Amino acid sequence: MRVATYNVNGVNGRLGVLLRWLAEAQPDIVCLQELKAPDERFPAKAIGDAGYEAIWHGQKSWNGVAILSRVGTPVETRRALPGDDEDVQSRYIEAAVNGMLVACLYLPNGNPRPGPKFDYKLGWFDRLIAHTADLIATGIPIVVAGDFNVMPTEQDVYKPERWQGDALFSPQVREAYARLLGQGWTDAVRTIHPDETIYTFWDYFRNAYARNAGLRIDHLLLSPALAPRLAAADVDREVRGWEKSSDHAPVWIELADTPVRTRRRRSGATPRNEA
């Protein structure tokens, strides 16, 4: 089974690209971010015609998340993170689908830093970590996927020295990401490709995609019950080069029906199967 995450940067403006990618990549479950559309403008018909059932949490102009599935109806378990009734931004949706729990998130950007937007990001991250602690404690297979707006390490940034003061790379935000992974989540792409330079975002400025001046900020995290089934993971980076593309590329994982990997080592060493 293939699970993907894709920040589409406008689900209606990029609908042609999204439908083409769905047809070519054939993902089974897809988490979308940055719909930039209110609920009534979500293109449910076109996505349905492509073979996917969907749930979505939209918002006028900004944000917005959705979960698509062609392997059974996504049964919504939550929309919005707990912990702040005042938060009206559509950045989280969660569903049970095909024997798993799928959490789709769009973590706040946080710039400029410092400031209220950065504080909102840190607060949102703390609420996420509190919620994922509850999720992982259930022991069920879970994927937490989305645009985290965090480059976890220098390996994930084209020019780390230029991003030191940025909200996407600040020590506090990287620490929060590390704290999240410390609960027991597996960063799927980094586990499959421990040493490669891999990006999921290239900005529209200065020919960034052609220069491969990118960032790795879209992630798929697996709970301990699911991590042993991780068979493959990668970025469909060519999609970023398509006409009218998002500034992000889709990221995907392949999950086997049965375990293919040994448990991740506590040391953080690269997991590998025993000989």
Q: Which of 57, 131, 219, 248 is catalytic?
A: 248
Helices (DSSP H) in the chain: which residue ranges? 15-25, 44-49, 116-137, 171-181, 188-192
Which of the 8 DSSP states describes residue 256? -
- CB contact at 8 A, 102 and 31: yes
Establish if 12 lies at the interface with DNA (CB under 7 A).
yes
φ, ψ of residue 126 to 5 degrees: the values are -60, -40
Sheet holding 230-235, edge to edge: 53-57, 65-69, 29-33, 2-7, 251-255, 230-235
Under rule CB under 7 A, residue 148 binds DNA? no
Residue closest to 116 by CA, chosen among 89, 148, 150: 89
Between β-strands 201-202 and 29-33, what pairing exists: parallel, antiparallel or unpaired? Answer: unpaired
**Shortest distance, position 158 Cβ to DNA, whole Å:** 10
Residue 162 interacts with DNA (CB under 7 A)? yes
Question: Are 237 and 252 a contacting pair, CB within 8 Å?
Answer: no
Task: Report 113-132 residues binding DNA (CB under 7 A).
Answer: 117
Q: Contact region for DNA (CB under 7 A) — 12-20, 176-184, 230-238, 249-257?
A: 12-20
Is there binding between residue 43 and DNA (CB under 7 A)? Answer: no
Q: Which residues are annotated as a binding site for Mg(2+)?
A: 7, 34, 147, 149, 247-248
Least distance from DNA to the Cβ atom of residue 232, Å? 25
Residue tagged active-site, from 6, 52, 92, 147:
147
Active-site residue 106, yes or no?
yes
What is the residue whose two structure tokens read 């969907």?
54
Tell whether residue 224 is a contact of DNA (CB under 7 A): no
Interface with DNA includes 9 (CB under 7 A)? yes
Q: Does 203 participate in catalysis according to the annotation?
A: no
**Cis amide linkage into residue 114, ω under 30° from 0:** yes
147 is catalytic: yes
Among 16, 23, 24, 38, binds DNA (CB under 7 A): 38
Does the N-terminal peptide bond of residue 112 adopt cis geometry, omega within 30 degrees of 0? Answer: yes
Q: Which residues bind DNA (CB under 7 A)?
A: 7, 9-14, 34, 36-38, 41, 60-62, 108-109, 111-112, 117, 147, 149, 161-162, 165-166, 168, 201, 203-206, 215, 217, 244, 247-248
